[in-house]
Amino acid sequence: MLIVGLTGGIGSGKTSLAEALARRGAVVIDVDGLGRQVIGHGGSAVEAVVERFGPEVRHPEGGIDRTALAEIVFHDEQALSDLTEISHPRINQLLDEAVDRVSGDSIVVYDMAVLAESELGWSNRHPYEIVITVETPPEVRFERLRQRGMSPGDARSRMESQASDEERQAVADYIVANQGDLADLEHVAGEVWSELQRLHDQKRRPLD
């Protein structure tokens, strides 16, 4: 098995790259989705989050009201770090359980917005072994978020709450520029896939 941490700033195109790798055979795990799961209905982080942020973040239909929580944490660094401390160990546990279900000869890709900022996907039993970061100029990312219906203020504060491109570069083994169109990204995905297969095969080769 080879485990890859795939990250990039919000709107950079990491999920698009993950999907292209999945079409080639990668097993993609949506780590951001696991993050939603731990604060969703019956999620393992719900009670701890309510204890820290108050009953007003509880969703009337169960779980946490993500909009209310985002309002707090994307404007308050301490709150974001408290949420990280509560949620990341629980997400790591779900991640390990997901990898336990994957066949041993797979190339696994963790699709994760938050990588450089914390030990998510790294301090768990199945840590990522290499890191790929997707880079797209901030103004293009901002425009993509606007097209998704996000307000300019929200788009800006979410981008600012994440690690910078420089911080992601510092932990990355590979940097994928996603400045072209989707066809260009598809082409790059082919190259990335060949490289991942090479690394995977190299790991499997017995020492002489």
Contacting range for ligand ATP; rule: CB under 6 A; set: 68-76, 120-128, 176-184, 197-205: 176-184
* Options 87, 92, 124, 178; binder of ligand ATP; rule CB under 6 A: 178
Contacting range for ligand ATP; rule: CB under 6 A; set: 9-17, 61-69, 75-83, 163-171: 9-17
Does 72 engage in binding with ligand ATP (CB under 6 A)? no
Does 84 engage in binding with ligand ATP (CB under 6 A)? no
Angle between helices 77-100 and 46-53 (to 10 degrees): 180
CB of 29 within 8 A of CB of 127? Answer: no
Among residue numbers 120 through 149, which ones bind ligand ATP (CB under 6 A)? 144
Say how far apart CA 42 and CA 61 lie, in whole Å. 11
Length of the chain: 208
CB nearer to ligand ATP: give 15 or 106.
15
Contacting range for ligand ATP; rule: CB under 6 A; set: 44-52, 55-63, 67-75, 177-185: 177-185
Does 16 engage in binding with ligand ATP (CB under 6 A)? yes
Q: How far is the CB of 47 from ligand ATP (least distance, A)?
A: 27
- Quick one: which H or E segment has residue 88? helix 77-100
Does 92 engage in binding with ligand ATP (CB under 6 A)? no
Q: Which residue's structure tokens are 């690394």?
A: 199
CB nearer to ligand ATP: give 15 or 93.
15
Contacting range for ligand ATP; rule: CB under 6 A; set: 73-81, 93-101, 179-187, 198-206: 179-187
Does 113 engage in binding with ligand ATP (CB under 6 A)? yes
Q: What phi and psi values does residue 156 have, to the nearest 5 degrees?
A: -65, -45
Say how far apart CA 63 and CA 36 lie, in whole Å. 10
**Whole-Å CA distances, 57 to 29, 51, 86:** 27, 10, 15
Residue 123: CB partners within 8 Å, gap ≥ 6?
A: 92
Q: What letter would DSSP give residue 7?
A: E
Which residues are registered as beta bridge partners of 7? 133
Among residue numbers 150 through 169, which ones bind ligand ATP (CB under 6 A)? none
Judged by the rule CB under 6 A, the positions of this chain that interact with ligand ATP are 8, 10-16, 113, 144, 178, 180-182, 185
